Structure 1
């Protein structure tokens, strides 16, 4: 499956993306470190978490979650080049029908409208193809560029989740932004195109 708008493409992450993904990740290490999830230390008496998973382990995990219907792991291509990742995770069915979206982009192409386009593509897929009802994005308050993405798209601010995720070595507060399918009957991509 591919989602496309102009020169922006979302497609499932693949094993053969390893070189391009690792190169983009390495090149952006300092820029992304403040926003990346980390594993908290083990409680006293418990085993310390192992090393970060390898690329292959990460992709295998993402694929298993996708097959189970709990996740959509995408890479973001711009002009045919891998420039980031977007994951629709925490997909919940039943009475909730919701998911969350997380993303990162190469600093070299940030600010060009790529990420709002990618988020809009993924949200429309969640609402229109999957039939989800709600999508949320949780962002650290000090991450201005990421907040601008969801604000440009018209996500509603729902407040603060104190010490929500372990990021960059500590438990960090996150702002919650959300949309429901009823709020964008025309589609989020169409709303973004009209801005």
Structure 2
């Protein structure tokens, strides 16, 4: 197994864990219920994909293989025992860069409760400690208000706009990049967040 995987990260009712095949029904229902909420921000391929879409089991196997090889950490997000979203650490790079990107989605029915800032902080702290990374970044569409609030609450640095950064829908879309290095949070990102947002 790769460094730092598998892992279960917990803070109060928020738990990050590996996505499992038995999550299929809950995950598929959640994505269907949140299609209008999530699809405007979902990355797509600029090259037409032929053939049937992968099954959920194939999707989980692909994510698990990426995790075992050390290039990604695909976490399911549970809140009070209910699957409510996903956090994925991707593009994990070592060497002189030691960096990764974090992406996330959350069901609309629990948005605004402080779940995702805690989940992202747990993932970032895991990157800095268990993986020994130096930098994490999050790329967000400028129009995506709920995602922007997550990085604002966490106090990540705004590094500006990357033009035509990611393909979404039928076009290349600008994204704002937010970043954090280990030196900025020697006590951990979650601890810094908790100083101004105590757990309920």
Once residues 189 and 110 of structure 1 are traced to their aligned partners in structure 2, the CA distance between those partners, rounded to angstroms, is 19
> Residue 124 of structure 2: SS of its match in structure 1?
helix
Once residues 146 and 61 of structure 2 are traced to their aligned partners in structure 1, the CA distance between those partners, rounded to angstroms, is 30
Residues 112-191 of structure 1 correspond to what in structure 2 (within 5 A)?
Answer: 112-191=113-192
4+ long deviations beyond 6 Å: none
2:25 corresponding residue in structure 1: 19
2:81 corresponding residue in structure 1: 80
Q: CA deviation at 1:51?
A: 4.2
Asked if 1:5 is matched to 2:6, the reply is no
Q: CA deviation at 1:171?
A: 1.1
Once residues 92 and 157 of structure 2 are traced to their aligned partners in structure 1, the CA distance between those partners, rounded to angstroms, is 19
Q: CA deviation at 1:53?
A: 2.5
1:104 corresponding residue in structure 2: 105
Q: CA deviation at 1:52?
A: 3.4
- Which structure 2 segments of 5+ residues have no match? 1-6
Once residues 55 and 164 of structure 2 are traced to their aligned partners in structure 1, the CA distance between those partners, rounded to angstroms, is 27
Q: CA deviation at 1:129?
A: 1.3
Distance 1:50 1:169, change over 3 A: farther
Once residues 51 and 160 of structure 2 are traced to their aligned partners in structure 1, the CA distance between those partners, rounded to angstroms, is 34
What is the alpha-carbon root mean square deviation over aligned residues?
A: 1.1
Deviations 1:126-174 (A, max 9, x none): 0011100000000000001101101110100111111111112221111
Once residues 54 and 169 of structure 1 are traced to their aligned partners in structure 2, the CA distance between those partners, rounded to angstroms, is 23
Once residues 133 and 30 of structure 2 are traced to their aligned partners in structure 1, the CA distance between those partners, rounded to angstroms, is 31
2:3 corresponding residue in structure 1: none
- Which structure 1 segments of 5+ residues have no match? 43-47
> Residue 10 of structure 1: SS of its match in structure 2?
strand
Once residues 132 and 150 of structure 2 are traced to their aligned partners in structure 1, the CA distance between those partners, rounded to angstroms, is 23
TM-score (norm: length of structure 2) = 0.92
The count of aligned residue pairs is 190
Q: CA deviation at 1:37?
A: 1.1
TM-score (norm: length of structure 1) = 0.94
Deviations 1:29-57 (A, max 9, x none): 11111011111135xxxxx5444322122
> Residue 130 of structure 2: SS of its match in structure 1?
helix
